[in-house]
């Protein structure tokens, strides 16, 4: 049996992260912290997959992915906080007592159960995206306008979440989580488990996205990216397709946020400001737009560089990030994967993704 | 009114809808406000209105440059707010230069000098950005958004390492105090100055666009790039000049903003999203649209802030804008006819 190089890369990726790292951890070679760090990167990679779907494949630049990420995160955070509060035999989370709130706000009620919280952290971002997306796409806002409107939305939601009156913890966000389904969050075993769950979810999300972009639906999305009016002329309901892509992307963002919160133990509005969303776009641009592997690789790569740089020379990180933005856009339009493919095709290797060449404008 | 109707389109020339519509709406609004002002004894209403207008005029100053660049090249410059920051830091540097090197005691002169200097410095920075980066990205508006965002990160971090986190510019003596209308109502001179500056800038820009050769060429390139090139206009030069003027206007806005606030590295970020919205609502490359939208957003924010918290005002404004876009997706003054096609 002969393996295609692309499949081989996938299998190597999974083998490395699902077997080598955990075994290394059990042998004491890899610390729990770095395992947990990788778990967080996988969350970002899931969110990046969503961006790739909406931006790389559909050509819509959405600047509020971090907002959807945080919506999912807050849903999970509310559940964890309620559990922690119940464990301490209190009625209300601590920050509410400080804000003189006596009864639990109504929108906290559904988050007592684990399953409802799980479902809601996917449904809430999707529903919000549906409403916003419907109004945006209905009025045929696109291109730069779309980017600006979603950016303004991200900003105003960020400001809203900063307030104490929204009963979501204000600037400090939600923190002091204790347990998830009875497992204590700070224990190494739980961290390893969460890491593996996140890795599995990343694989599932990748698989789903792969199915989507290679289905007829995905082809229509790419057609919309390349020439929206023509798709409209051939009697496709462009609005429905764009809306569906936007909702799926938001749900992926929510999934990522949901997995992120138990691993970091905190979610604050700082995660959803405009910068965060633009950074997510950056991951995808750097890894390679219109290429699912590119999104994953970009997210992992930028975050690795981030962790490294902030610990070695914290002042320089913004310079590096800024230069990355500029260089990516100016010189490697298709990101790192595009660069590799270019080199590959020069020396005569045909990769899988090249055969499904996604010529973006 | 004649003037307003004329400024309407740097792109399509004239407002082609019913001619009486906008004057009637404007007159109605003016009448409404006049009645409210006349019946307002405590002065808070006028105060809100006034701060709304002054916020609006800052927005206009910031957005005008953004709007002409967007109209010309179709790209949104995310680093536009940082030119505002450059203008503010230029003002600060001029102040330091005047007090420490020239030993001028009066704080009036530095500000008068800083106005043109900040325009030129920010304009040159914009020119540099255009030459180095944006020139390569005119065909790719969304990518240029990311690249200019990177530029903005670099500029903010540079300012932070050069100037530290917080610096303030002394208020010039001539702008201290305010115009005492009655015992409840004082209109500060610095805000009045900003409004006056905005009016001067609008008139100057309008004159430049309509009455000079450069302005005519800018309008021509905005309208039809390839045709202008055929007729011998050096479009690359026009792009660069437009970028210079646009960035310079942001620098001027930054200079004006030192009158009402501190100078901080990320001061541009505070206004930039509002400025984007102003451009979006105003319509592509429309001066009158930008002016109306800027004033509208400014007044709405301040009036809404009086009723709600500032944050809710902002959220509400965004909702209103999204609602507005349902009816007028191409801005207040959309292009009519063949130029309107994508």
* Residue-range domain boundaries for chain B: 2-7+45-336
- For B87-114, the pLDDT digits (tens) are 999 988 888 888 887 777 777 788 888 8
Average pLDDT for chain B: 79
What does the pLDDT average to over A23-52? 84
The answer to whether A242 and A58 are in contact (CB under 8 A) is: yes
Establish if B142 touches chain A: CB-CB under 8 angstroms: yes
DSSP SS3 for B31: helix
How far apart CA B175 and CA B171 sit, in angstroms, is 7
Residue B7 sits at φ, ψ, to 5 deg, of -65, -25
Q: How confident is the model at residue A297 (pLDDT cuts 50, 70, 90)?
A: confident
DSSP secondary structure letters along A231-260: HHHTT--HHHHHHHHHHHHHHHHHHHHHHH
Nearest by CB to A148, which of B76, B312, B326?
A: B76
* Main-chain dihedrals φ then ψ at residue B188, nearest 5 degrees: -65, 140
Return the pLDDT at B83: 92
- The minimum CA-CA distance between B112 and chain A, rounded to whole Å, is 34
Report the C-alpha gap between B204 and B61 in whole angstroms. Answer: 12
Reply yes or no on whether the pLDDT at B340 is more than 50: no
Place of tokens 């959807």: A68
The pLDDT assigned to A67 comes to 92
Query: Has residue A126 been placed in a domain?
Result: yes
Nearest to B71 by CA among B151, B9, B3: B9
Interface residue of B158, B311, B327 to substitute, partner A, most A CBs within 10 Å:
B311
Percent of chain A residues topping a pLDDT of 90 = 16
Task: State the Cα–Cα distance between residues A64 and A151, nearest whole angstrom.
Answer: 6
Instruction: Give the rounded percent of residues in chain B with a pLDDT score beyond 90.
Output: 10
Give the pair of three-digit tokens for residue A43: 């969350």
Over residues A265-277, the pLDDT tens digits come to: 888 888 888 888 8
Closest by CA position to B293, among listed B254, B251, B260, B330 = B330
Query: Which residues lie across from A267 on neighbouring strands?
Result: A174
A360 lies in some domain: no
Distance from CA of B279 to the nearest CA of A (A): 9
A143: nearest CA in chain B? B142
Question: Which segment, B10-14, B138-142, B236-240, is predicted with the most confidence on average?
Answer: B236-240
Alpha helix (H) ranges present in chain A?
A: 5-15, 21-26, 32-51, 65-87, 94-98, 114-138, 143-162, 188-214, 216-226, 228-233, 238-264, 274-287, 292-312, 317-330, 335-346, 352-355
pLDDT at position A249 is 92
Residues of chain A whose C-beta is under 8 A from some C-beta in B?
61, 132, 135-136, 138-141, 143-145, 147-149, 151-153, 155-157, 159-160, 162-163, 165, 229, 274, 278, 281-282, 285, 315, 318-319, 321-326, 328-330, 333, 361
Torsion angles phi and psi, residue B187, rounded to 5: -100, 110
In chain A, residues with a C-beta closer than 8 Å to the C-beta of B75 are: 144
Q: Which of A141, A160, A325 sits opposite B147 (nearest CB)?
A: A325
In 3D space, the residue among B306, B291, B260, B321 whose CA is nearest the CA of residue A155 turns out to be B321
Q: What is the pLDDT of residue A68?
A: 93
Separation of first and last alpha carbons in chain A: 38
Q: Do B146 and A328 touch (CB under 8 A)?
A: yes
In this prediction, residue B12 has a pLDDT band, given cuts at 50, 70 and 90, of very low
**Which residues on B lie below 8 Å from A232 (Cβ)?**
none
Look at A275-284, B69-78, B236-245, B318-327 and tell me which has the smallest mean pLDDT.
Answer: B318-327
Residue that wins the pLDDT comparison between A166 and A304:
A304
Question: What is residue A350's predicted lDDT score, i.e. its pLDDT?
Answer: 54
B276 touching A, CB under 8 A? yes
Contact between B322 and A136 using a beta-carbon 8 Å cutoff = yes
A320 neighbourhood in chain B, CB within 8 Å: none
Whether residues A323 and B144 touch (CB distance < 8 A) is answered with no
DSSP state of A349: P
Q: Of A222, A224, A242, nearest to A232 (Cα)? A: A224
Cα nearest neighbour of A62 on chain B: B142
Residue B220 clears pLDDT 90, i.e. is over it? no
Give just the sign of the alpha carbon dihedral A145, A231, A355, A252. Answer: positive
Max avg pLDDT among A326-335, B171-180, B230-239: B230-239
Helix (H, G, I), strand (E, B) or coil at B266: coil
pLDDT at A355 over 90: no
pLDDT of A2:
57
Q: Count A/B contacts: CB-CB distance under 8 Å.
A: 117
Question: Taking chain B, what is the end-to-end CA distance rounded to the nearest angstrom?
Answer: 31
The closest CB to that of B329, out of A132, A141, A315, belongs to: A141
With an 8 Å Cβ cutoff, is B44 touching chain A? no
How much is the pLDDT for A129? 92
Rg of chain B in Å (alpha carbons): 20
Q: What is the ipTM of this complex?
A: 0.81
Contacts of B55 (CB under 8 A, 6+ apart): B298, B299, B301, B302
* Number of domains forming the structure of chain A: 1
Confidence of residue B119 (pLDDT cuts 50, 70, 90): very high
Question: Who wins on pLDDT, B338 or B217?
Answer: B217
CB A334 within 8 A of CB A284: no
On whether the CB atoms of residues B107 and B173 are closer than 8 A, the answer is yes
What DSSP designation does B106 have? -
* Contacts A274 to B, Cβ<8 Å: 269, 273
Q: Which two tokens stand for residue B64?
A: 């005008």
pLDDT, position B40: 61
Burial B167-188 (b: 16+ CB within 10 A, else e): bebebbeebeeeeeeeeebebb
pLDDT (average), residues A174-190: 78
Stretch among A50-64, A125-139, A238-252, B184-198 having the lowest mean pLDDT: B184-198
Angle B176-B179-B181 from CA coordinates, rounded to 5°: 155
Contact call for B150 and A151, based on CB within 8 A: no
The pLDDT of residue B124 is 94
In this predicted structure, what is the pLDDT of residue B15?
47
Q: Chain B: residue nearest A157 by CA?
A: B315
What is the pLDDT, as a whole number, of residue B7? 46
Q: Tell me phi and psi for residue B97, to 5 degrees.
A: -60, -45
Average pLDDT estimate for B66-83? 84
Chain-chain contact of A325 with B280 (C-beta, under 8 angstroms): no
The pairing of beta strand B185-188 with beta strand B178-182: antiparallel
* Minimal Cβ distance to B161: which of A144, A145, A315: A315
Q: Does B277 touch chain A (CB under 8 A)?
A: yes
- Of the pLDDT bands very low, low, confident and very high (cuts 50, 70, 90), residue B174 is confident
The predicted-structure confidence for A42-63, as pLDDT tens digits, reads as follows: 999 999 999 999 998 988 888 8
pLDDT digits (tens, 9 = 90+) for A101-148: 777 778 888 888 888 888 988 999 999 999 989 988 887 777 778 888
Tell me, what's the pLDDT at A262? 87
Q: pLDDT digits over B236-295, tens only? A: 898 899 899 999 999 998 888 888 888 888 888 878 888 888 888 887 667 788 888 888
> Tokens at residue B65, please?
């440059």
Across the interface, of B145, B157, B326, the residue whose CB is closest to A135 is B326
pLDDT at A322 over 80: yes
Predicted local distance difference test score (pLDDT) of residue B8: 46
Least confident of A160-169, A187-196, B145-154: A160-169
Nearest CA in chain A to B312: A160
| Residue-number span of the structural domain to which A115 is assigned | 5-355
In a domain, A330, yes or no: yes
Tell me: pLDDT of B342 over 70. Answer: no
Residue B341 touches chain A, beta carbons under 8 Å: no
* Smallest CA–CA distance from B323 into chain A, residue: A135
Is the model more confident about B36 or about A68?
A68
């Amino acid at each position: 049996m002969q393996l295609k190089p692309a499949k081989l890369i996938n299998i190597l990726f999974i083998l490395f992260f699902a077997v080598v790292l955990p075994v290394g951890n059990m042998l004491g070679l890899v610390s729990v912290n770095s395992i947990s760090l990788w778990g967080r990167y996988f969350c970002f990679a899931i969110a990046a997959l969503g961006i790739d779907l909406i931006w790389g494949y559909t050509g819509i630049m959405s600047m509020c992915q971090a907002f959807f990420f945080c919506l999912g995160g807050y849903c999970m955070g509310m559940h964890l906080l309620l559990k922690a509060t119940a464990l301490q035999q209190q009625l209300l989370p601590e920050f509410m007592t400080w804000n003189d709130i006596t009864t639990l706000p109504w929108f906290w009620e559904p988050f007592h159960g684990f399953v409802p919280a799980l479902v809601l952290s996917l449904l809430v971002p999707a529903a919000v995206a549906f409403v916003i997306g419907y109004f945006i796409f209905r009025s045929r806002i696109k291109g730069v306008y779309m980017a600006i409107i979603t950016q303004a939305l991200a900003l105003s939601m960020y400001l809203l979440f900063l307030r104490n009156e929204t009963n979501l913890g204000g600037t400090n966000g939600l923190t002091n989580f204790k347990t998830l389904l009875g497992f204590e969050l700070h224990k190494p075993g739980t961290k390893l488990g969460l890491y593996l769950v996140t890795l599995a979810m990343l694989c599932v999300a990748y698989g789903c996205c792969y199915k989507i972009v290679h289905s007829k639906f995905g082809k229509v999305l790419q057609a919309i990216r390349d020439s929206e009016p023509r798709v409209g002329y051939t009697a496709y309901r462009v609005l429905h397709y764009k809306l569906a892509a936007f909702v799926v992307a938001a749900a992926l963002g929510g999934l990522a946020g949901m997995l992120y919160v138990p691993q970091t133990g905190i979610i604050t509005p700082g995660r959803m400001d405009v910068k965060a969303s633009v950074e997510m776009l950056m991951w995808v641009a750097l890894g390679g737009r219109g290429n699912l592997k590119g999104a994953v690789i970009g997210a992992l790569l930028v975050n690795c560089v981030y962790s490294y740089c902030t610990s070695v020379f914290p002042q320089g990180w913004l310079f590096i990030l800024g230069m990355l933005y500029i260089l990516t856009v100016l010189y490697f339009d298709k990101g790192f994967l595009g660069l590799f493919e270019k080199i590959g095709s020069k020396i005569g290797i045909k990769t899988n993704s090249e055969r499904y060449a996604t010529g973006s404008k | 009114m004649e003037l307003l109707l004329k400024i309407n389109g740097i792109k399509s020339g004239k407002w082609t809808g019913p001619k009486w519509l906008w004057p009637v709406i404007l007159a109605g609004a003016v009448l409404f406000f006049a009645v409210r002002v006349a019946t307002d004894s405590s002065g808070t209403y006028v105060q809100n209105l006034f701060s709304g207008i002054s916020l609006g005029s800052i927005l206009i100053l910031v957005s005008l440059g953004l709007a002409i660049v967007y109209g010309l090249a179709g790209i949104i410059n995310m680093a536009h707010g940082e030119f505002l920051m450059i203008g503010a830091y230029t003002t600060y540097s001029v102040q330091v230069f005047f007090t420490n090197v020239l030993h001028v005691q009066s704080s009036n002169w530095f500000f008068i000098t800083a106005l043109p200097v900040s325009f030129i410095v920010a304009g040159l920075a914009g020119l540099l950005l255009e030459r180095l980066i944006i020139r390569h990205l005119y065909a790719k508006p969304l990518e240029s958004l990311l690249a200019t965002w990177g530029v903005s990160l670099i500029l903010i971090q540079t300012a932070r390492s050069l100037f530290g986190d917080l610096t303030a510019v002394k208020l010039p003596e001539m702008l201290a105090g305010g115009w005492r209308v009655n015992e409840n109502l004082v209109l500060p001179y610095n805000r009045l100055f900003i409004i006056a500056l905005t009016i001067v800038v609008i008139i100057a820009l309008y004159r430049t666009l309509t009455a000079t050769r450069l302005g005519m060429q800018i309008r021509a390139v905005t309208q039809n790039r390839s045709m202008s090139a055929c007729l011998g206009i050096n479009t690359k030069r026009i792009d660069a000049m437009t970028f210079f003027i646009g960035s310079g206007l942001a620098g001027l806005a930054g200079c004006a903003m030192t009158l009402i606030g501190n100078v901080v590295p990320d001061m541009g970020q505070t206004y930039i999203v509002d400025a984007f919205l102003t451009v979006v609502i105003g319509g592509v490359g429309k001066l009158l649209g930008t002016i109306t939208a800027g004033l509208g957003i400014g007044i709405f924010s301040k009036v809404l802030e009086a009723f709600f918290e500032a944050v809710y005002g902002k959220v509400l404004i965004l909702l209103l804008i999204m609602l507005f876009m349902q009816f007028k997706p191409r801005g207040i003054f959309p292009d009519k006819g063949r130029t309107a096609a994508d």
